[in-house]
Amino acid sequence: MKKEIPVQQGKKYEITIQTLGTSGEGVGRAADFTVFVPDALPGERVLARIDEVKKTYARGKLVEVLEKSPERTEPPCPIYDSCGGCQLQHLSYGGQLHWKRQQVVDAVERIGGLSGIEVLPVLGAKEPWLYRNKMQFPVGKKRGKTVIGCFAKGSHDIIDTRDCRIQKDGNNTIVNVMREIVERLHIPVYDEDRHTGVLRHIVGRIGENGEAMVVLVTATKDLPKAKEITRLLRERVPNLKSVQQNIQTYRNNVILGRETKLLWGKPTIPDRIGRLRFSISARSFFQVNTEQAAVLYEKALEYADLSGKETVIDAYCGTGTITLFLAQKAHRVYGIEIVKPAIEDAKKNARDNHIKNAAFLVGDATELMPRLCHENIRPHVIVVDPPRAGCTETVLKTFAGMRPDRIVYVSCNPATLARDLAILAKLGYSAREIQPVDMFPQTSHVEAVTKLIRNDLL
């Protein structure tokens, strides 16, 4: 007999919130039926209106907090309620760290079906505000006025953002200056519904010592009044070192296109993670929180447990940031990445840091790693930092087939981390310890570094 759903769309219910979901929403139960309530916190009793009902859960809108959590705080951002950039400003920073650790614990136990793995307290940021060195905001029109900012929660409605509390101040300056320039010079802005207009996104990067880069993303090859825009930016953005145009003509949600023009200044700005220096271009991948990136990489280096004699493979190496950290203590490091421009950046980063024991290879890890094996290159340690989707089982089998002593798994998604740890457990590798790191304070995201050891070495 089909079980009747106990909640109805449009009606209000009192709900006690028990935990946080992976997107930072409160999760509670009404008549033993799961209800997700954004902006509600664990331990709170709330009144919520049901907006959506599915077979196994419902989503509600917070109407009133009847009993508040002691961890509830007043968000400092005036547009927090409408903006989709942050999810946890209403939760104290200590509370954020507690629940981010719990997110990792729950994923490992419920998704991975694993037990006995120590999940350490989250390494929090010394500065949980004003930390993002990169901003990429869409540009649009609303009631005849130019708006630049984050998208609203769950939509492509642009929320005009003048003082983002997680962006470095230099990026906020760039946004506000560009808004005035677009209005003053009547620059046509992009309309994603009609695929018309010119200016799509404003990208800002703030490097070491506050050096700034502005990238104007356009839907057309020509940028009207480019010289005037550049002149006004130079006059009004402190420490500006680079102005560039990126061309993205396709009708999709990809922010940056393949072609970039230097309008003024230098093609790169410098930044640093720990002791290593990097040249950041308009399209470079680079961690947006450099202080916490250093914390993450130092933990990966610790888990690699290098004495100076080891050969290490860094799969999914990107622009080589983790690879170069590992090279400081390894005998030899091989970075593998399928994206050719990223490998070119990695090679340059190695040269700039005078690191000679790192080699970078373009290609698929599942093809290149067996080739290294055939060349009698056996890794003592494999480090992997995959995208949010995690690793395929084929990739994990390739890792295990090379029989490294240790695997260091850096993850930005607890769910896929847990899934992959379960697969690696069947392949002979036991997760010994997980260290979560808070790379993105005020948001629901959490990174984690896991140390795995081959079973016959335990």
Instruction: Give the residues of the chain that fall short of pLDDT 70.
Output: 1-2
Q: What CATH class has 134-267?
A: mainly beta
Least Cα distance to 300 among 153, 447, 154 occurs for: 447
Residues tagged in the binding site annotation = 287, 316, 337, 385
Q: At 414, which amino acid appears?
A: P
Q: What is the pLDDT of residue 436?
A: 98
Residue 14: helix, strand or coil by DSSP? strand
CATH 2.40.50.1070 domain range(s) in the chain? 134-267
> What b-and-e string marks burial along 10-29, b requiring 16 or more CB atoms within 10 Å of the CB?
eeebebbbeebbeebbbbbb
Q: What CATH class has 11-72?
A: mainly beta
State the pTM of this model.
0.94
| Residue 168 C-alpha from the chain's centroid | 16
> What is the C-alpha to C-alpha distance for residues 109 and 349, in angstroms, rounded to an integer?
39
Just list the catalytic residues: 412
Q: What is the pLDDT of residue 156?
A: 87
Sign of CA dihedral 108, 40, 137, 291: negative
Say if CB 124 and CB 93 are below 8 A apart. Answer: yes
CATH 2.40.50.140 domain range(s) in the chain? 11-72
CA-angle at 401, arms to 400 and 402, nearest 5°: 90
Residues tagged in the binding site annotation for S-adenosyl-L-methionine = 287, 316, 337, 385
Least Cα distance to 399 among 429, 442, 419 occurs for: 429
| Topology of the domain comprising 97-126+289-457 | Rossmann fold (3.40.50)
Q: What is the pLDDT of residue 2?
A: 59
Say if CB 273 and CB 318 are below 8 A apart. Answer: no
* Burial class for 252, CB neighbours closer than 10 Å (0-12, 13-18, 19+): exposed
> What is the C-alpha to C-alpha distance for residues 306 and 355, in angstroms, rounded to an integer?
17
